[in-house]
Structure 1
Amino acid sequence: MKLPRGLTAEEQAAWAHLASSVDPLAGRTRPKVVAAPAGQTAPPKPAAPKFTKVVRPPPRMVPVPTPPPGPRRIGHTSLDSHWDRKLKSGSIAPDYTLDLHDHYLDAAHDRLESGLSQARAMDARLVLVITGRPRPVEAADRGSKRGVIRAKLLDWLAAGPHADAIAAIRKAHRKHGGEGAVYVVLRRNR
């Protein structure tokens, strides 16, 4: 009889004992088990594997990059009710007035930047920016048609060097220009 592959002498003896205790099915014979020769000893059992504790280094602490700041939103902070009431009623006089009306686009932008620098140097709180009334034009025509300064004003203020100094932007009262002007409320210099 061919022994199963890889049985040791002890395993062969155990198999012979088990096979002798079982009655074979009808029509089958009991398998013959060959005992191991007397002088042969069983090969040594392999030693149980030694488990060593695997020490893994702690995970590297990779600093999580902070996302870049989003676009600055100016003019959306709420003023106290005292300021809002005064601006809506037109009872407060502007500290500084910038007239960008009838300027070319580049000249108006330069005038806005220098005018806001001057207003901040004077510690002005309320700046009236006169742009001219907006014209209903398509977005593609704003570069050459009337109302282009008004259309670009908020972008200039948000992207300019004075964006952090602007507390709020509000529509001007009718007596200060109405639709053709804007109040720019500056923060106090610290």
Structure 2
Amino acid sequence: MVRRRLTIDEEALWDALTRSVRPLRPGQRRPAPVATPTPTPKIGLTPPLRPATPAKPVATPAATLDSSWERRIRSGSLTPEMSIDLHGHSLAAAHNRLNQALAQALAQDARIMLVVTGKPPKNAGGAGTARRGAIRGEIGHWLETSPYADRIASVRIAHPRHGGDGAIYLILRRKK
């Protein structure tokens, strides 16, 4: 398939659109698009373009932790230093409470925070279950976009003793 070149108006529209897009996961940014050079008159030399400075990488939650953490999570021997129960709240109230609890946990130098979200829906097709599990569905996004995202080392499903599928552990990073 032969590709056609964008017109000047289409390029301007595309540039405006790409500048307005906000990434879903801020830590996984795509490289900025390279500007195509526009033909310039060959009267003089144009100065070379400066290379873009790379953005400072944002610390993201780890998929796995070291073996001692993994063993403690599997065995249920973790003792959360702080817990918060979000189920039964509206999405806005739950989001607000989560951010407040994270701020408080970090201020108290807590390492393990238990967040109770409620169990995920048992069946997606049943009547009256449209809103069930809404907090559970949003919490990942809330944590990624939180002002404290760089302080979260890992997010793990809780041991059945602490709520199982209806709760998560937030393993927080130590102060730098």
Partner of 1:60 in structure 2? 47
Partner of 2:149 in structure 1? 163
Q: Scaled by the length of structure 2, what TM-score is found? A: 0.66
Partner of 2:107 in structure 1? 121
* Alignment check: 8 A CA contact 2:83 2:113 kept: yes
- % identical aligned pairs: 43
Matches of 1:60 and 1:68, distance apart in 2: 24
Letter in 2 for 1:170: R
Deviations 1:30-83 (A, max 9, x none): xxxxxxxxxxxxxxxxxxxxxxxxxxx87623112246679x684334311001
Which secondary structure does the structure 1 equivalent of 2:155 belong to? strand
Matches of 1:170 and 1:73, distance apart in 2: 17
* Structure of higher CA gyration radius: 1
Which secondary structure does the structure 2 equivalent of 1:169 belong to? strand
The total of aligned residue pairs comes to 131
Which secondary structure does the structure 2 equivalent of 1:188 belong to? coil
For structure 2, the 5+ residue unaligned runs are 1-43
For structure 1, the 5+ residue unaligned runs are 1-56
Partner of 1:183 in structure 2? 169
Partner of 1:146 in structure 2? 132
Letter in 1 for 2:73: L
Partner of 1:111 in structure 2? 97
Matches of 1:61 and 1:137, distance apart in 2: 57
Matches of 2:165 and 2:63, distance apart in 1: 21
Which secondary structure does the structure 2 equivalent of 1:78 belong to? coil
**2:107 corresponds to 1:133:** no
Partner of 1:79 in structure 2? 65
* Alignment check: 8 A CA contact 1:125 1:188 kept: yes
Deviations 1:77-121 (A, max 9, x none): 431100111011110100110110111110000000000000000
- Cα gap change, 1:73/1:164 in structure 2, threshold over 3 Å: closer, same or farther? closer
Matches of 2:134 and 2:59, distance apart in 1: 21
Q: Scaled by the length of structure 1, what TM-score is found? A: 0.62
Partner of 1:173 in structure 2? 159
Partner of 2:75 in structure 1? 89
Matches of 1:182 and 1:67, distance apart in 2: 33
Matches of 1:124 and 1:165, distance apart in 2: 11
* Alignment check: 8 A CA contact 1:127 1:183 kept: yes
Matches of 1:181 and 1:99, distance apart in 2: 9
The alignment yields a C-alpha RMSD, in angstroms, of: 2.7
